[in-house]
Chains A and B, each alone.
Chain A
Amino acid sequence: MDATDQKRLLREMLFARRFEERCAEAYQERQIGGFLHLYPGQEACAIGVLEKARPGHDYVITGYRDHIHAIKSGMDPKAAMAELYGKETGCSRGRGGSMHLFDPDSRFMGGYALVGGPFPLAAGFAKAIQMKGGDEISICFLGDGANNQGTFHETMNMASLWQLPVLFVCENNLYGIGTAIERATVETSQYLRVAPYRIAASQCDGQDIDVVMSEAEKAVTHVREKRQPYFLELMTYRLRGHSMSDSGAYRSREEVEQWARRDPISIYRTRLEAANILSEEDFQKMDLDIQNEIENEIVRFALESPEPRVEDLERYVYADGGPKPWLK
């Protein structure tokens, strides 16, 4: 990977961080409602894996912590922010909200609020790919908490049984909402849990994007070439609460501080600076540019966009203009 791409990757991670921090501000200003689950600390996971996939070609699905997966898949950040503001210009026309971003044009098939719900949907995309005969793969990002749902076991079984081209990425951030993994799960190494289903699997550091990309490349290649599932576990940590309402009582300040020293952006920035790819001033300028873009283009677009019309409340319950062969 050349220096230009390395700087772009750093910028993408920094953009993700600033985007999410701006969302938190907007939430406190009550511009964003509902539940808001932010991604700081985990940026290297979505960005590193999708860097090695083919966004816009491969299908991507995730849970409710979905903003960065959507953007890295190709969604316009303005459409993401407008959705959070509940606007008609949002990616889901203001009907979805933070947990339900969608962009089928970039094959980002959505964020979902039921933990573990996307497992079978991801396998379903893979089933469709298999039937159509393309070289796409389906990529499902979920957390460790999802692996205690029945859908995890049921889907792993069928994905392996039917050799479906689906990559399961487990972002293991050590907590299912506010319960530590060892208090909820017997086998804490998630990649070991798919062994009975005979799915190829591995585990790696999720904070160092170079490590993530290296493992993701192997995983993506496995799924794309062998046309069978793979399970990749990324060890990561969310630096903020589960959602905006989080007491933090379930983990110590020391633990959060310890993980903050493994911040994926700091790790990569330090590496690029050490290799003379990036200077301190470059980084500061990059950060400033990002914050200006977010404020002057993205947030402004969201603020200035129109609300959905109340007269359209019942639109989209059923598909407009869908086939009605009985009327022929």
Chain B
Amino acid sequence: MAEMMYWQAILRAHDEEMARDPLVFAMGEDIGVAGGTYKATTGLFAKYGEQRVIDTPISENSYTGIGVGAAMVGCRPIVEIMSVNFAWLAMDQLMNNAAKVHYMSGGRIRCPFVMRVPGGTAHQLGAQHSARMEKVFMGISGLRVVTPSTPRDAYGLLKSAVRCDDPVVIIEHESMYNLKGEVPENEFFTPLEGCETIRPGRDLTIFAYNISVRWALEAADRLSKELGIEAEVVDLRALKPLDRAGIAASVRRTHRALVVEEDEAPVGVGSEVLAILSEECFFDLDAAPIRVHARDVPIPYNRQLEKAAIPNAGEVFAAARKILGK
């Protein structure tokens, strides 16, 4: 087991897949000569050359489409969008072509396309660099959407995504690239489907994904130490398809649930998980489930306002107490 940073895990997955398969290539803004805004492709340009590590012009929609087209005829592109906010510009190619071509060709054309996007709020980047778009991606039929919360998953999910024959969006996080964690040295693949219980508990389930997993774990530790409450933390990890059975199974054990998401509440992961609980295990619930989520505002620049807009471990802790009446 080696400890590595989130960006190093992504780099390792790129490197292994590119070494294995000459039709795997990477493209995006500043990923080649500059090594990538978050270093996730550092050194690949020197190793694989400009045909396979492509610095693109700032034309998100069309370089995404070039990746999609290449995927349709047998390549396995990994397209990096520098910031999820810019993915709005690529939505036409992602949603109308990548997500739909397999279905609308009656299954005759596969699209093994990978898009990596750092999402989320970081440090005072303002409204146009702090988007969280998971609610958009997870609402599109034909896409797979995954959200690594650790270096281990950042590696394993990219490995699986490159091998998968469906288009996959990987939502990384701007604040997590320097996060350290254990990553097994042997090659492995993290499932693109299904959630994972990363902390078992009996009193309630906290559903989280990506950066909110960290808030959930921190809150769970405090709940245990300060109040003797044992929270189960479930990393949703795959947002599309969302694991209905896994979500329901945890709540059938704990009978209480909260969902924590970095995104704004109206429409999103939290509402979807609550709908699943209502449909699958309403009578197993001992308390009304709660969502902890960002405020419904464009993310402000001011440090205090930004902090107030985004949830944190304290809010998760308070929400858990409310559910348990403690």
**Residues of chain A at the chain B interface (Cβ within 8 Å):** 59, 90-96, 100, 102-104, 109-110, 112-114, 117, 119-125, 127-132, 150-151, 154-155, 157-158, 161-162, 315-320, 322-328
Contact = CB atoms under 8 A, between A and B. Distances in A.
A319 B51 CA distance: 28
Nearest to B95: A114
30 contacts: A92-B104, A96-B104, A96-B105, A96-B106, A114-B96, A117-B65, A120-B65, A121-B65, A121-B69, A121-B93, A123-B65, A123-B66, A123-B69, A124-B70, A124-B73, A131-B25, A131-B70, A151-B92, A154-B61, A155-B62, A157-B59, A158-B56, A162-B54, A316-B103, A317-B102, A317-B103, A318-B142, A324-B160, A324-B164, A326-B160
A155 B66 CA distance: 8
A136 B199 CA distance: 53
Given A128-B74, A322-B165, A323-B163, A154 B62 contact: yes
Nearest to B71: A124
Nearest to A123: B66
Contact of A158 (B51, B63, B108): B63
Interface of B: 22-23, 25, 51-52, 54, 56-57, 59, 61-75, 92-93, 96-97, 101-110, 141-142, 144, 156, 159-160, 163-166, 188-192
Given A102-B106, A131-B22, A326 B189 contact: yes
Given A117-B97, A154-B57, A326 B190 contact: yes
A59 B57 contact: no
A127 B66 contact: yes
A315 B62 CA distance: 29
Nearest to B194: A326
A324 B71 CA distance: 17
Contacts of A127: 66, 69-70, 75
Contacts of A325: 159-160, 163, 189
B21 to A, nearest CB: 11
Contacts of A320: 107
A317 B142 contact: yes
Most buried by A among B56, B67, B69, B105: B69
Contact of A109 (B73, B188, B191): B73
A283 B74 CA distance: 44
B72 A109 contact: yes
A121 B68 contact: yes
B56 to A, nearest CB: 7
Nearest to A114: B96
Contacts of B166: 318-319, 322
A117 B163 contact: no
Given A131-B23, A326-B160, A104 B109 contact: yes
Contacts of B59: 150, 154, 157-158
Contacts of B75: 127-128, 131
B66 A120 contact: yes
Q: Closest 5 interchain pairs by CB? A: A124-B69, A120-B65, A93-B106, A322-B165, A154-B62
Contacts of A123: 62, 65-66, 69
Contacts of A328: 189
Contacts of B25: 131
B104 A119 contact: no
A104 B105 contact: yes
Contacts of A315: 107
Contacts of B164: 322-324
A4 B105 CA distance: 35
B73 A157 contact: no
A112 B106 CA distance: 14
Most buried by B among A90, A95, A112, A315: A95
Nearest to B58: A154
Nearest to A99: B104
A158 B62 contact: yes
B89 to A, nearest CB: 9
Given A124-B68, A151-B65, A110 B105 contact: yes
A110 B164 CA distance: 22
A327 B163 CA distance: 12
Nearest to A159: B66
A102 B103 contact: no
A100 to B, nearest CB: 5
A124 B57 CA distance: 15
Contact of B70 (A91, A125, A316): A125
A91 B65 CA distance: 23
Nearest to A156: B62
Contact of A120 (B54, B62, B142): B62
Given A150-B61, A326-B190, 7 more contacts: A121-B93, A124-B69, A131-B70, A158-B63, A316-B102, A317-B102, A324-B192
Contact of B110 (A93, A122, A129, A322): A322
